[in-house]
Amino acid sequence: MTSSDVAKVKFYEGMHALLATVPKEDKLIVLGDVNARVGTEHAAWQRVLGPHGLGSCKVYGLFLLRTCAEHCLLVTNTFFRLPTREKATWMYPRSRRSQLLDDVLVRRRDRQDVLVTQAIRDANGWTDYRQSQDEAPK
């Protein structure tokens, strides 16, 4: 395991510990550049992933999915049918393959409070990332 891997594992352990301190009755929104590819395995993760994911699940995606399952969270980015350009938050420069690396998480019971989660194209300044935005009812 590299030092980078150790840091990522510590990040997920810290995230898990922090989420455990939030009272269950509180609304919770987690916005993060977690670099976790959660993929499209909606059937395997029905209570966490929606049917509109992107790409394949990787190791740190599994860490995030397990954390979400344990804390009754869902990945809102995967619940909305959007074109890839409005869903992907990063594009690999050489292959131009789009990835969903920045996630918006909410408690399952609050799913109805999220109207859409999408990537913002052409944000100010040059970057290979796209910002995510969440829209909730007023």
Q: pLDDT value at position 88? A: 85
Taking the C-alpha atoms of residue 6 and residue 19, their distance in angstroms, rounded to an integer, is 20
How many of the other CB atoms lie within 10 Å of CB of 98?
A: 18
pLDDT means per 10 residues, the chain with 138 residues, are 85 94 96 89 95 92 95 95 87 83 93 89 55 66
Q: pLDDT value at position 124? A: 56
Nearest partner of 72 among 54, 46, 41, judged by Cα = 46
Which two tokens mark 2? 């590299």
- For 49-76, the three-class secondary structure string (H helix, E strand, C coil) is CCCCCECCCCHHHHHHHHHHHHCCEEEH
The single-letter code of the amino acid at 115 is L
pTM summary value: 0.83
Q: Give all domains of the chain, ordered by start, each with its CATH number.
A: 3-135 (3.60.10.10)
Q: Is 89:136 a contact under the CB 8 Å cutoff?
A: no
118, β-bridge pairs? 133
Q: Is 53:38 a contact under the CB 8 Å cutoff?
A: yes
